[in-house]
Amino acid sequence: MSNTLVDKLMEQLNALSAQEKRLIASRLIEQAKDEEQAQVLDLPEEVRYRKREYLWMKEHEKEYAGQWVALEGDKLYGQGSTARQALTEAKKAGAKMPFIARIDSPDDLPFGGW
């Protein structure tokens, strides 16, 4: 959208009452949320839900317990003691959109929040 169009819209919006401006703002925010959600839904189902990654984690939980892993599908691209380390390895290995997760160790205490 050009700056000229934005400037014209702003001139028109300035003539509105505060209540009308709030209404327009809330509708624009909702529209932006809908567009963001549509972008997520446009992704293939296997990327949206990461089913293959969760299955891989379940199958390899003993091998990588306590480690961070970077996965795409059922392929391990990186691992490490930190998420950053796993992501760095994944990028070097050519991962495009890696799924980063920590595989819990059976010795870990359950986390109850702060």
CA distance 22 to 24: 5
Is residue 70 within 8 A of residue 79, CB to CB? The reply is: yes
CA distance 50 to 99: 8
Is residue 81 within 8 A of residue 69, CB to CB? The reply is: no
pTM of the model: 0.56
Q: What is the pLDDT along the chain (114 residues), one digit of tens a residue?
A: 578 998 998 999 999 999 998 998 888 888 887 777 666 556 666 666 788 898 899 999 999 999 999 999 899 999 999 999 999 999 999 999 899 999 988 777 777 777
